[in-house]
Structures are given as structure tokens and as C-alpha cells.
Amino acid sequence: MIAFEAHNLTVSYDKQPVLWDIDFEIPEGKLVGIIGPNGSGKTTLIKAAMGILEADSGFVKIFEKSPDEIRERMGYVPQRQSVDWDFPATVMDITMMGRYRKGKLFGRLSKADREIAVDSLKRVGMYDFRDRQISELSGGQQQRVFIARSLAQQADIYLMDEPFVGIDAASEESILNILREMRSAGKTVIMVHHDLHTALEFFDWVVLLNTRLVAAGSKDEVLTEENLRTAYGGKLNVLSRIADLVKRQEYPLREEDSKE
């Protein structure tokens, strides 16, 4: 089944197109990276799929339905910098939010709901922090709590906006292992990702953007020298290394000082 599809999708900010006539499909059960230079429309695509931004034209479908029709099967992890971390809530409070459903926002959650939240926290290694205020956590811990919240939704497709930004290497590896487990369970995970150096290692499916769609498909089909040059233009310091890795079919090692 096609898990995610965008057709003739155009989205603008202040009448300036950020995504222009995007058209692609993603099959179910993939770990997908949305990749492209700054300002290429990566976050805009996620927000349009969630209904946070309205499209100028075209549409997105999730499992062949509109996002509004299938909202309860969708999990969302926003960018960390978009969250008010001073909000007075505990780790358990945030995770339990994943159990609220449309039409039941003010209802009481059940014992079963709490058990699902507890299990989600255990899966991301944050159960021992359940009574801690979210403002007291490190960046990696905060991100794992938001992933626990999305796990508690028991969704079928997860949209994540740069979940690896601002976290340490140990948290990155922990989160990546969780995402791989989700994929193994048949879930579809689509995330905005900014680091080309780890794209070959992280994903099995890639959507490469630069306002327009450059390519979408398996990582080997998409991450070619020609496609990367189309997307990133003159950033030859990045492209020369990535192109060489693609040719040799080797996975890159993460470098502390590597930047997109």
C-alpha cells in the first residue's frame, strides 16, 4: 500500500512558493528521509501533510485518505525549537497526551491508556524520568519524550521534523534504533533530516527537495552525484565527498565537524 502521496502540491509563504508542484509516493513500511538544502521546503512538506499549513494547490493523502480522515493513525514529532520547554508538565504528562483522541480531549484516560504510555517511555529509555519536569531534561531526553508521546498514539505513520538536531551521539543512536524497530513492525517513518553525511546510513527511502522535487525513491536511486548537484548546486565540499561515497557504496562515518 502507498502510505504517503503528494500530488501537484504547491505551498507558499507570503505568496512566495516554498514547495512547487511536488508529486511523489512513498510505500508503506519505510524509514524515509526528507533531504535538501536550507529553505528547500522540507519542514513545509511535513506541515502541509499535518494540515498545519494550507496548500495553494494539489493535495496529500495518507493511506489513500485525506489527513483529516485518518488523523488518529498519524503521529507527529515537531522541531524541538518550536516547543515551549518551560511549560509545567512532567515526562508522563507529555507522553499521556498521545492517548487523547478526537472528541475525547477532556475525557479521563483509562488504566490501559496509562499502561501504553508507560510502555512507550520504557521503549525510549525514559521511564525512570517519568516524574521529571520536561524543562529539566537534556535535548536528547526531551526528544525521546516526544517520540514516546508519538509511540503512545499507536499510529501507523510518523512524521518527524529534524528529530536529531541538537542531541548527543548516544541519544541519536538510541532514537535511530527505536525508529528501526518501528519500521520492522511495519510502521512508516518520514522525517526531515539535515545531515547528508548520515543519510545513506539512516534511510532506505529518500525524498530529495529543492523547492521542486529533485527525486524520490530508494536511497541508491536518489543519492546520485547528478541528483545531489541538482539539489545543492555549488556546495562542492559536501558533494564531492557524498558522490565519492555513493560510487564506492560505502557508508559515511559521522564527523563532529561535518555540516550540511
C-alpha cell at 67: 489527513
C-alpha cell at 236: 562542492
In angstroms, the CA 101 to CA 21 distance is: 33
| Pairing of β 157-161 and β 212-218 | unpaired
Domain boundaries, the chain: 2-248
Burial class of 230 by CB neighbour count within 10 A (0 to 12, 13 to 18, 19+)? middle
d(CA 160, CA 182): 13
Q: The domain 2-248: what is its CATH number?
A: 3.40.50.300
Tell me the whole-structure pTM to 2 decimals.
0.84
Single-letter amino acid code for the residue at 253: L
Residue by residue, pLDDT tens for the chain (260 residues) are: 899 999 999 999 888 889 999 999 999 999 999 999 988 999 999 999 988 889 999 999 999 999 989 988 999 888 876 677 677 889 999 999 888 865 455 567 788 999 999 999 998 889 999 999 998 998 888 888 988 998 999 999 999 998 888 778 888 888 889 899 999 999 999 999 988 888 888 899 999 999 999 999 999 999 998 999 899 886 545 554 555 555 555 544 443 333 33
CA distances, 173 to each of 93, 124, 177 (Å): 25, 11, 6
